[in-house]
Amino acid sequence: MRFILPLGWIATILAVAPVRFDREKVLRVKPQDEKQANIIKDLAKTNQLDFWYPDATHHVAANMTIDFRVSEKESQFIQSTLDQNKMHYEILIHDLQEEIEKQFDVKEDIPGRHSYAKYNNWDKIVGWTEKMVHKHPEMVSRIKIGTTVEDNPLYVLKIGKRDERRKAIFMDCGIHAREWISPAFCQWFVYQAAKTYGKNKIMTKLLDRMNFYVLPVFNVDGYIWSWTQNRMWRKNRSKNQNSKCIGTDLNRNFNVSWNSFPNTKNPCADIYQGPEPESEKETKAVTDFIRSHLKSIKAYITFHSYSQMLLFPYGYTSKLPRNHENLAKVAKIGTDVLATRYETHYIYGPIASTIYPMSGSSLDWAYNLGIKHTFAFELRDKGKFGFLLPESLIKPTCKETLLAVKFIAKYILKHTS
């Protein structure tokens, strides 16, 4: 007997089938001159290349390391084009789907207990925020600063004593959905702060004298989508007028030199800036919160991946900020301190010259608002796993990063008024 599914059911089944990446590759190319750089740009016009580093075609330049994902169907043509033009390339990932599945390489310790050695989905993170407040009521409180396009809550965890007038640092993770190591670090930071208060000398001193505002997942809708539908999703999930393409890059949506790069105007691009500055509910919630706490917030730190960098302003201009020497000094010592744990090498510098130019970033916006110590971490690794850092590397990444964050916080405590 033939069983025929109603059309509506078929549509639903098709709609919820997660994207698979079987036999998709990630290639690394380093164009030797402008001609070779243009070959990559031309390939991007006719093929679906997902740029991992840098994050868009227009950044591609001679002598730059370029990482991009390519489908199974197109990989043969792209590899033969590179071969014909005598362009050396490396295959970083041979089968992306396989690598996605291999990412979960840590067994759960105790079922039901929150694991800091594993990637946690949004539901687990929400449950964790409740547990942290319940377990440490004197130290941790949860603030709902807004909601997302899909009506998910945006929670900031405040760590420290009740006094609002004390110096504070605002930290956010997960502005780009696929960068899972970033929310993992924010969870680790909150856990370590609460757990080691009264035991670790530096953490105790910090929490006795300052507050931390931590947004564990900035781009909640995108993060959920990266878990349920498309592991490689980057943007948020807002609908775009006159376009079937979904989402805005929240880190191009801040009101700082917004709209100064032409390639951010396409709603189908991964770096789409949105229809106007702060058009996105997530961006607006964060900017409103920071503005309302501006008197106390002395530093802003945002966490991304990947490439092992510690960045500071500016991204939209090659002009250096007034306190450039000071920021460079903090970043240098921060990266040195980070390396003491596992000898992980980070580079540091202004966004525009160290990674690539960009407009509308949270870092530049916070700096221009008056927060004179703003930093962005690009966490592990340097491309072997890219966005698919295995769970077995979560704790080492978090432990070394915590050392750098504690150093920055100590510096803020001592040197800001």
DSSP single-letter state for residue 323: T
CB 416 within 8 A of CB 300: no
Give the domain-ending residue among 75, 103, 131.
Answer: 103
pLDDT recorded at residue 69:
97
35 and 159 assigned to the same domain: no
* Nearest-angstrom CA–CA distance, 267 and 253: 12
Instruction: Determine which helix (DSSP H) or strand (DSSP E) holds 97, and give its type and residue range.
Output: helix 96-102
* Helix, strand, or coil (residue 198): coil
46 and 145 assigned to the same domain: no
47 and 193 assigned to the same domain: no
44 and 192 assigned to the same domain: no
Q: How many domains, the chain?
A: 2
Q: What are phi and psi of 391, to 5 degrees?
A: -60, -30
Does any domain span residue 4?
Answer: no
pLDDT at 83 over 60: yes
Give the lowest-confidence range in 49-58, 81-90, 107-116, 328-337.
107-116
39 and 141 assigned to the same domain: no
pLDDT recorded at residue 298:
98
Does any domain span residue 20?
Answer: no
* Nearest-angstrom CA–CA distance, 111 and 116: 13
75 and 128 assigned to the same domain: no
* Nearest-angstrom CA–CA distance, 122 and 337: 31
Q: What is the pLDDT of residues 177-191, one digit of tens each?
A: 999 999 999 999 999
Q: What are phi and psi of 87, to 5 degrees?
A: -100, 120
Burial of 76 (0-12, 13-18, 19+ CB in 10 A): exposed
179 and 78 assigned to the same domain: no
pLDDT at 199 over 90: yes
Does any domain span residue 271?
Answer: yes
pLDDT recorded at residue 321:
97
Average pLDDT over residues 199-228: 97
Give the lowest-confidence range in 68-72, 262-266, 394-398.
262-266
316 and 269 assigned to the same domain: yes
Does any domain span residue 16?
Answer: no
98 and 126 assigned to the same domain: no
Token digits for 78? 């792209």
Here the CATH number for the domain that contains residue 99 is 3.30.70.340
Q: Report strand pairing: 374-379 vs 309-312.
A: antiparallel
Does any domain span residue 381?
Answer: yes
* Nearest-angstrom CA–CA distance, 134 and 114: 14
CB 95 within 8 A of CB 300: no
Neighbours of 39 (CB within 10 A): 18
409 and 295 assigned to the same domain: yes
* Nearest-angstrom CA–CA distance, 92 and 3: 44
CB 257 within 8 A of CB 364: yes
Q: Which domain holds residue 58?
A: 25-103
Does any domain span residue 40?
Answer: yes
Residue 335: closest CA among 400, 398, 387: 400
Does any domain span residue 68?
Answer: yes
Q: What is the pLDDT of residues 237-280, one digit of tens each?
A: 999 999 999 999 999 999 998 877 767 789 999 999 999 999 99
Q: What is the pLDDT of residues 137-178, one digit of tens each?
A: 999 999 999 999 999 999 999 999 877 779 999 999 999 999
User: Known catalytic residue: 378?
Assistant: yes
Residue 167: closest CA among 210, 202, 205, 207: 210
Confidence category of residue 109, pLDDT binned at 50, 70, 90? confident
Here the CATH number for the domain that contains residue 332 is 3.40.630.10
207 and 329 assigned to the same domain: yes
Q: What is the pLDDT of residues 12-24, one digit of tens each?
A: 444 578 999 999 9
pLDDT recorded at residue 5:
53
- Which of 280, 378, 391, 400 is the catalytic position? 378
Does any domain span residue 248?
Answer: yes
Strands (E), 89-245: 89-93, 140-147, 153-159, 167-173, 210-215
pLDDT recorded at residue 111:
78
Helical residues (DSSP H) of 310-393, grouped into ranges? 324-342, 351-354, 362-369
Token digits for 229? 């539908």
87 and 174 assigned to the same domain: no
pTM for the structure as a whole: 0.94
DSSP single-letter state for residue 381: -
